[in-house]
Structure 1
Amino acid sequence: MGDVIGQILPQAVGVAISPIPIIAAILMLLSPKARVTSVGFLLGWVLGIVIATTVFTLLSSVLPQGDDGGSKPIQGIIQLLLGAGLLLLAIGQWRKRPKDGEEPAMPKWMQAIDKITFPVALGLGFLLSAVNPKNLLMTAGAGVTIGSASLSGGDITLVIAIFTIIAASTVLIPVIGYLFAAEKLRGTLDAMRVWLTKENAVIMAVLLLVIGVQMIGKGIGSF
């Protein structure tokens, strides 16, 4: 089990360091309905990670396990495809980075974030974690690793729980912290929002490149 946790750590960190969800959570924390919308967003974010990872784990567990020599060609092909997808996303993110002096473009829905309700925040968190292409590829990679590891049901549950905690941590920590120390965190959260907005494309490009190469390496090693 420890080996599997080690293998999925890059994907968990990849989900955790997604700037857009972090910025969305910070904007909610700075809005008039902070305590309601931020909790809804957090619940949706966690739920999306759990469901996506569980689905891919179940799908991966039914794949042929390969021969006695340890070769797993189907798993390898899936990992190569996931890695290639991450590299393509990395190229796309790098091309989207703002030029010197140019303001970074953010999603239009962020402009109306002050007006959203708890159900909308819940759905938004779920979509950004479970349906967003970047996170979907990373949870798929984690699910393939978990499902193909021949773990017991209890171990699978524990590994998915650990993956979820790490992946959700960058949204979980600000939200929980804000509930206990709202005024003290306002300045820090606003400074973090500005920096993440500016560096979003570069952060994601580098992150996707590293994880994509790592996934391709796993795929090659499965043959």
Structure 2
Amino acid sequence: MNGVIGEILPSALGVAISPIPIIAAILMLLSPNARGTSVGFMIGWILGIVAAVVVFTLLSAIIPAADPTASKPIAGVIKILLGLGLLLLAGNQWRKRPQHGEAAAPPKWMSAIDTMKPVAALGLGFLLAAVNPKNLLMAVAGGLAIGASGLPAGQQTIAIVVFVLIAACTVVIPVVAYLLAAKRMAGPLDALRVWLLANNATIMTVLLLVIGVVLIGKGIADF
């Protein structure tokens, strides 16, 4: 089981280190309806991660079990394709980065956050977690590692819980911290929002590049 936990860590961190959802959560925490929208967004984010990784864990379980010492061409091809997909996303992020002296523009949907209701925030969190292409690729990688591991259902459940805890922590921690100490957290959260927005493209490019190369390496090792 420790091997599976180690294999899912990069993918879980890839979901966690997602500047746009973190910025969205911070904007909700600084909005007039901070408590309702931020908690709704957090719940949606967690549910989206759970749904994605569980679906791909179940799907990957249909890959025929193989001798641990034998090659695993099916899993290897999937990992290589996932890695190439992440490299393509990395290139796309780099092309969209702000030029020197240019301010980074937030996504247009963020302008609606101030008037957003908790249910809409929950739906947004779910979509950003479960439908976003980058997170989907990470969920596929995590689900593949868990579902094709051959572990008993109980240990697979533990691995899924670990994946979700790591992947969701960067949204959960600011929301919980704000709920516990709203006045003290407002300034630091706004500063973090500005920094993340300015460096979003660079963070995502490096992250996707590293995890993409790791997945390709693991895929090659399966042959």
With structure 2 as the length reference, what TM-score do the two structures score? 0.98
Matching residue of 1:21: 21
Matched to 2:64, the amino acid is P
1:70–1:184 distance in 2 versus 1, CA, 3 Å: same
Post-superposition CA distance 1:138-185 (Å, at most 9, x none): 011010011111111111111100110000000000000111100000
Unmatched tracts of structure 2, length 5 or more: none
- d(CA) in 2 for partners of 1:69 and 1:142? 21
- How much has 1:219 moved relative to structure 2? 0.5
Post-superposition CA distance 1:102-150 (Å, at most 9, x none): 1112210101100010110000000000000001000110100111111
RMSD: 0.9
Matching residue of 1:186: 186
- d(CA) in 1 for partners of 2:14 and 2:45? 14
Matching residue of 2:202: 202
- d(CA) in 1 for partners of 2:60 and 2:36? 36
Matching residue of 1:38: 38
Output aligned runs, 1:144-183, within 5 Å.
144-183=144-183
Matching residue of 2:101: 101
- d(CA) in 1 for partners of 2:68 and 2:186? 57
Matching residue of 2:52: 52
**Partners of 2:86 and 2:208 within 8 A in 1:** yes
- d(CA) in 2 for partners of 1:34 and 1:192? 17
- How much has 1:68 moved relative to structure 2? 6.3
Output aligned runs, 1:207-218, within 5 Å.
207-218=207-218
- d(CA) in 1 for partners of 2:202 and 2:12? 19
1:9 aligns with 2:1: no
**Partners of 1:98 and 1:104 within 8 A in 2:** yes
Matched to 1:194, the amino acid is V
Unmatched tracts of structure 1, length 5 or more: none
Matching residue of 2:78: 78
**Partners of 1:66 and 1:73 within 8 A in 2:** no
- d(CA) in 1 for partners of 2:23 and 2:112? 13
**Partners of 2:65 and 2:150 within 8 A in 1:** no
- d(CA) in 2 for partners of 1:68 and 1:59? 20
